[in-house]
């Protein structure tokens, strides 16, 4: 496996020859783990069915669950998705950044059917972290990349977590240190001229509603796991090996504790291990620490991780969404 370490402070152009090699690897159908500002992505050429099939295989991901395609800029995104007033507004406000738009797939788009799971829509994102955009430019193709973790498990926010989780299944890793946001992009679908929140994420609902000048619609939760309204929005996801118990008021025997701010959970000193997501009560810091902390507590040997209440405002909605899925009953 080839590993390239890059300094996120340095100009991406200065990694010329190194990135050329990774772009060539993508064009050859290989898998490259690539950091973004949200989480690490497991990337392949989105125009190649064979390359995308390797993503599903490496993750153990069901093939009805489509992938996000990453592109360098809005003009390129417009060659793959049909933009209207609302989607253009959101793209202009938040790209590059942690927003994914689900739009009607444009006729002539080169994104393969496996990447979109055969749907007539496409998920597009222009990430803020420049390495994915640069590789997309160099390779001359959109880059399909789900989060770089085994399907259903916790997303990865460092190169080492990627290697621990996916190991030999990947050909190359680019290491840019920890991801600054730490939860995945917010996903908004434009359906019949309405903006629908499919997944809370790095950009808060409030920020999006302000840019739109109207409220986001919420996904009707009439679907079940056999027929998810948004594929991939399965109830059990982001799951550590340990059970997860939310809104804990006390620590029970044998539990590890994920705490937040100054809130006190009874019996905290008896926890097998405690991690505070943000001692100052910053939700941004808590999001950046969330997945790494869940991995660490999972390794403490505790059968259950209990979690202190986390406020629902701002990025707290995304944190609570991930925790709720981590705590959901698991399929066998
Ligand atoms: O921050 C992120 O979004 C990261 C980085 C790597 O970009 N990616 C990520 O990908 O979280 P993934 O595959 O783990 O989650 C993408 C979600 C999936 O739940 C998938 O079902 C949904 O997006 N999705 C993709 N295409 C869709 C479509 N056409 N319609 C509805 N949902 C879609
Ligand atoms: Mg994922």
Instruction: Give residues with Cβ within 8 angstroms of 215, minimum separation 6.
Output: 209
Among residues 122, 103, 125, which one has the least CA distance to residue 112? 122
Residue nearest to atom 18 of ligand 1 (CA): 232
Helix, strand, or coil (residue 241): coil
Residue nearest to atom 24 of ligand 1 (CA): 66
Q: What is the pLDDT of residue 63?
A: 83
Q: Which residue has the tokens 């007539």?
A: 120
Among all ligands shown, which has an atom nearest to the Cα of 149? 2
285 class by beta-carbon count within 10 Å (0-12 exposed, 13-18 middle, 19+ buried): middle
| C-alpha span between 268 and 182 (Å, rounded) | 25
Instruction: Give residues with Cβ within 8 angstroms of 151, minimum separation 6.
Output: 59, 60, 61, 62, 65
Q: What percent of the chain has pLDDT over 90?
A: 89
Residues with CB under 5 A from ligand 2 (ion): 147
pLDDT at residue 257 tops 90: yes
Residue nearest to atom 3 of ligand 1 (CA): 185
Q: What is the pLDDT of residues 189-241, one digit of tens each?
A: 999 899 999 999 999 999 999 999 999 998 765 445 554 555 556 677 788 99
Please, are residues 176 and 131 in contact by the beta-carbon 8 Å criterion?
Answer: yes
Ligand 1 pocket, residue 30 CB under 6 Å:
no
Produce one character per residue of 86-96: b if its CB has 16 or more CB atoms within 10 Å, e if not.
Answer: bbebbbeebbb
Q: What is the pLDDT of residue 329?
A: 87
Among all ligands shown, which has an atom nearest to the Cα of 42? 1
Q: What is the pLDDT of residue 64?
A: 85
Q: What percent of the chain has pLDDT over 70?
A: 95
Please state whether the peptide bond connecting residue 96 to the residue before it is cis, i.e. omega within 30 degrees of 0: yes
| C-alpha span between 294 and 298 (Å, rounded) | 6
Q: What is the pLDDT of residues 54-80, one digit of tens each?
A: 999 999 998 889 999 999 999 999 999
Q: Which of 158, 176, 184, 325 is the best mutation target for the ligand 1 pocket, counting ligand atoms within 8 Å of the beta carbon and taking the most?
A: 184
Q: Name the token pair of 129.
A: 């972290």
Please, are residues 68 and 144 in contact by the beta-carbon 8 Å criterion?
Answer: yes
Which atom of ligand 1 sits closest to the CA of residue 43?
Answer: 6
Q: Name the token pair of 33.
A: 């783990």
pLDDT at residue 91 tops 80: yes
Ligand 2 mean position to 73 CA, how many Å? 23
Rounded mean pLDDT, 118-126: 96
Rounded mean pLDDT, 304-332: 93
Ligand 1 pocket, residue 38 CB under 6 Å:
yes
State the pLDDT confidence band at 331, using cuts at 50, 70 and 90: confident
Question: Facing residues of 61 across strands?
Answer: none
């Amino acid at each position: 496996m080839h590993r390239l370490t890059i300094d996120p402070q340095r100009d991406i152009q200065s990694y010329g020859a190194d990135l050329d090699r990774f772009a060539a690897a993508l064009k050859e159908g290989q898998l490259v783990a690539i950091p973004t500002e949200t989480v690490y992505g497991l990337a392949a050429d989105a125009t190649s069915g064979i390359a995308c099939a390797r993503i599903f295989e490496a993750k153990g991901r069901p093939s009805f669950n489509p992938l996000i395609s990453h592109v360098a800029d809005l003009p390129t995104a417009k060659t793959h998705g049909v933009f209207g007033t609302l989607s253009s507004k959101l793209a202009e406000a938040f790209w590059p950044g942690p927003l994914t738009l689900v739009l009607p797939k444009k006729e002539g788009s080169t994104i393969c059917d496996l990447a979109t799971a055969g749907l007539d829509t496409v998920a597009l994102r222009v990430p803020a972290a420049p390495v994915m955009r640069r590789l997309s430019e160099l390779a001359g193709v959109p880059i399909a990349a789900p989060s770089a973790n085994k399907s259903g498990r916790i997303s990865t926010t460092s190169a080492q977590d990627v290697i621990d989780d996916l190991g030999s299944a990947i050909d190359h890793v680019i290491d840019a240190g920890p991801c600054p946001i730490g939860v995945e992009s917010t996903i908004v679908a434009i359906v019949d001229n309405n903006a629908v929140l499919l997944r809370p994420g790095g950009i808060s609902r409030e920020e999006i509603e302000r840019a739109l000048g109207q409220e986001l619609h919420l996904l009707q939760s009439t679907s079940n796991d056999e027929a998810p309204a948004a594929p991939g929005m399965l109830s059990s996801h982001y799951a550590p090996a340990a059970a997860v118990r939310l809104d804990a008021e006390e620590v029970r025997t044998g539990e590890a504790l994920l705490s937040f701010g100054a809130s006190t959970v009874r019996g905290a000193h008896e926890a097998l291990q405690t991690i505070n997501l943000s001692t100052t009560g910053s939700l941004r810091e808590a999001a950046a620490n969330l997945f790494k902390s869940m991995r660490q507590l999972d390794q403490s040997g505790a059968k259950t991780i209990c979690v202190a209440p986390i406020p629902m405002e701002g990025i707290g909605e995304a944190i609570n969404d991930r925790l709720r899925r981590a705590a959901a009953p698991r399929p066998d």
